[in-house]
Structure formats: structure tokens, C-alpha cells
Amino acid sequence: MPREHFLFTSESVSEGHPDKVCDRISDCVVDAHLAKFPEARVACETLATTNRVLIAGEVRGSPEVDAAVVEQCAREAIRDIGYHQEGFHWQNCQVDVLLHEQSPDIAQGVDAGEAKEEGAGDQGIMFGFACRETPELMPAPILYAHKILHLMAGARHAGRAPELMPDSKSQVTVRYENGVPVGVHSIVVSTQHAKGLTSADVRKIVEPFVYEALPEGWINDETTWHVNPTGKFEVGGPDGDCGLTGRKIIVDTYGGAAPHGGGAFSGKDPTKVDRSAAYAARYLAKNIVAADLAERCTIQVSYAIGVAKPLSIYVDTHGTAKNVRSSDIERAINKVMDLSPRGIRQHLQLNRPIYARTAAYGHFGRAPEADGGFSWEKTDLADSIRDAL
């Protein structure tokens, strides 16, 4: 039986966190290739440390996106995030580009031919999740942890919080009663800041953003606060800690409230099912909940490299289904959406330069955008799923 009264915690990290700097650079490289060649293949990994960025991986894309363009992508990403400090500066850091051609052994499994459909770019399992805890159909802890940092970053970029620097983290512990989120037990915010500020000074700056992010009444006199609990946080970003692409996969998805497959998202073009199938699984789970078929839904899909169709589709409604069986939903999914790699890309229109914006504040729970960004957050499939059932 599911627990009714409990605490659950999720964390977020800002765009200036060392790992997120790397995610952003890798996704900017993906966007640069897709802008020139929508069928590009990109697997781009980034490492960042004190005034040093290393970009490596495999590509099959436009020759226009050469090492100089990739370096410029990295510098622009670092500049846009806001790093112009002595130990990590967008103009002065050394950028090494070690990208090379995609292996022909991998390419032959993915490429379509006269006798085969385009296959998946790798084997693996991918998960999607949705629930009724928030209007965005996301778990409350991760959604509000993201929102705190997103608001802080917006104020920093707008010049309304000049004391805040790019690197920050948040953590929200939500109190559940009868399985429903009702308040916040504890809040943790650690943020890089201008010289000379105390933790108390930083809390005065941060508190308004926390209150704005959380539902009214969720914070009370019993809520525990930890703002910069270690004290001074002046050295941040890759100067303070090494960053790598793909190291914040739970932050990117559901904050631990639902399973995650084995692969990261950033730096990968949409032929990689690590990314595209995870987006499709979220899209389907969200539409199942939006169709009022269940209060919660987890979907797993699995693939083999070079094989077009998923090996399995699994649906779990966690005992919340409304007069429908999970096996029926599984069959309906196959009717309403082609879950081959190409089918996913075409349905969600993923072969576009829309990925740099996903690198921070979560890949899910965001509003669909006019140019196709976050297309997997639409609920336009709900009626089709109902009809298929």
C-alpha cells in the first residue's frame, strides 16, 4: 500500500552550476548542427574546470559547424550564463575542441536503407511520468525547486539581484498528507554571491523568490530554512568545481519521484532514444493523466541499437486508473503514436535547434513554445488516447 503521510525531497541546480554549464555547451553544439542539417548526428560531451573547457565526442553534421564555430558556441553559452570572473571567463578560458566523425559501425545500425527502417541509436530503457500534484502534471518537489532557481536567475539577468552570481542549488522537502502535497517542511538554497555578504544577507535576497515560487500558505513558522549553510560562497562555477555533461539526470527529470533510464539527455541529437524516447514517454504519460484516465502514470519503453520498434512498452498507473487497465493503455499507445526513433522525431518535430533551453531548470514541466520547444509537454493527444480505448 502507498504511504499517505510522508516527506519527499528533490533538488535543482542553476544554469551556472558546473555540470549545467557543460550541459548547456553540449546542447548548443547540438543546436548548431541541427540548424544547418536537421538530420545531423551529435554526441557531444563537455568538461569544464578553472578557465578550461574541453569538448569531445562524435558528429555527423554540417561541415560549416567546424571547431571555430563550436568554440564560439561554448564562449557564447558561458557569456549568456554570466561568467566573467577571474577563474572562469567567457573570453579568456581555453576551449579545446576534440569532436570527430561518428563511428561507421554505429551509423550503419541507425541509418535507414532499402531493406530496413532507421534504427535506434543505442539500446536502453527510458521512462516517462506524470501526476496530478501540480498544474504542470509534475511532482511538486522538483517543480518548485526548479522554479526558485529560475526566478533567481531571471532577476540576476535583469539586474534586479546584482549580488547573486550564476552558480546556485536548491532543495525542497514537501510534506504530503493523504498522499497530497500540502506544504514545505524544509528549504535549502545555496547561491554564489558577491564578496562581503553573510548568509543572513543572502537569505534576505533569496527569500522573496522562494515565497514567489511556492504556493501560498506552504511556508509557515515550522518550515526549516538553510541558506548558504556553509557560509561564504564567492568562488563558484567550474572555477570552484569541475563540471561534466550528463551528471544531473535526476534534476533533469522528476527529482527522484519516478524512475530514470540509464542515459543522459544533453549533447545528444534526437536519433538518440536516451533523449527522444524519454521525451515521448513523458508526452504519453502526461496525455494519459490529462485525459483523466489516471491520477499518476509511469511509462517505460525499451530499445535495441539498430532496431526501429521498441522492444517493450510498460504502463503503471499506480492503482489510480479510472475504469481502464494498464494493458489496454499499452495497446492504445501503439495506436496513437509511432514510437520508432523517426516516428517520435516526426510526431514531436524534434529535428530543430530547440535544445540549449532545456539544459537547466528541467526538461519536463515547461510550457510548450511557439517554435516547437518543449513540444513533448503538449496535451494534444489526450482525445486520441481516449478514442483508442
Residue 102, annotated ligand binder?
A: yes
Residue 20, annotated ligand binder?
A: no
Residue 105, annotated ligand binder?
A: no
Residue 326, annotated ligand binder?
A: no
Residue 58, annotated ligand binder?
A: yes
Residue 195, annotated ligand binder?
A: no
Distance CA 125, CA 123 (A): 7
Distance CA 274, CA 112 (A): 19
In whole angstroms, how large is the CA radius of gyration of the chain? Answer: 21
β-pair partners for 136:
none
Residue 221, annotated ligand binder?
A: no
Distance CA 134, CA 153 (A): 22
Q: CB–CB of 238/20 below 8 Å?
A: no
Residue 241, annotated ligand binder?
A: yes
Residue 101, annotated ligand binder?
A: no
The phi and psi torsions of 212 (rounded to 5 degrees) equal -65, -35
Residue 265, annotated ligand binder?
A: no
Residue 330, annotated ligand binder?
A: no
Residue 264, annotated ligand binder?
A: yes
Closest CA relative to residue 205, chosen from 184, 221, 223, 190: 190
Query: Is residue 57 classed as helix, strand or coil in its secondary structure?
Result: strand
Q: What is the DSSP letter of 61?
A: S
Residue 114, annotated ligand binder?
A: no
Which residue, chain included where needed, has cell 532499402?
114
Residue 247, annotated ligand binder?
A: yes
Residue 19, annotated ligand binder?
A: yes
Residue 268, annotated ligand binder?
A: yes
* Binding-site residue positions for ATP: 17, 167-169, 232-233, 241, 247-248, 264, 268
* Binding-site residue positions for L-methionine: 58, 102, 241, 272
* Binding-site residue positions for Mg(2+): 19
* Binding-site residue positions: 17, 19, 45, 58, 102, 167-169, 232-233, 241, 247-248, 264, 268, 272
* Binding-site residue positions for K(+): 45
